[in-house]
Amino acid sequence: MTRVMIFDVLLFLTPFVVYAFWKWLFHGARGHKEIMGDAPILVLVLVGSVLGMGGLYFLASHEQEGPQAHYSPPRMNENGQIEPGHFEPDAQMSPKLGKSSRR
């Protein structure tokens, strides 16, 4: 979840960073007031929001575990080695309905 939040925040902040870099590089602006003073904040927020929502859509559509899986946490095997956590298909899923038979 933390990875998703960091990814989304970075995507949201991308237009602000690109604008500040462009302003600094081509207009020689120095300081926060010169760089962001006349920035099109509404446009940057809208573009950042679209990028953030697009990133969330991308992560959700490329999710590997799927809705029919459950998480098996890390555990120690017989040899004393730790097996990493992973997703396993739910054995109690109804193949016809695609719904869990658990209540």
**Quick one: pLDDT at residue 64?**
63
At 63, the pLDDT band (50, 70, 90 cuts) reads low
Q: Is the predicted pLDDT of residue 12 greater than 90, yes or no?
A: yes
- Using CA atoms, how far apart are residues 67 and 24, in angstroms rounded to an integer? 46
Q: Which of 34, 36, 33, 54 is nearest to 44 (CA)?
A: 36
How much of the chain exceeds pLDDT 70, in percent? 73
Say what the pLDDT of residue 2 is. Answer: 79
Question: What would the mean pLDDT of 6-32 be, rounded to a whole number?
Answer: 85
- Ranges of each domain in the chain: 2-61, 66-103
- Helix (H), strand (E), coil (C) string for the chain: CHHHHHHHHHHHHHHHHHHHHHHHHHHCCCCHHHHHCCCCHHHHHHHHHHHHHHHHHHHHHCCCCCCCEEEECCEECCCCCEECCEEEECCCECCCCCCECCC
Using alpha carbons, select from 84, 87, 82 the residue that is nearest to residue 65.
87
- Nearest alpha carbon to residue 17 among 44, 38, 52: 44
pLDDT digits (tens, 9 = 90+) for 68-92: 677 788 999 899 999 888 777 766 6
The amino acid present at 53, given as its one-letter code, is: M
Residues 38-55 pLDDT 10s: 788 899 999 999 999 998
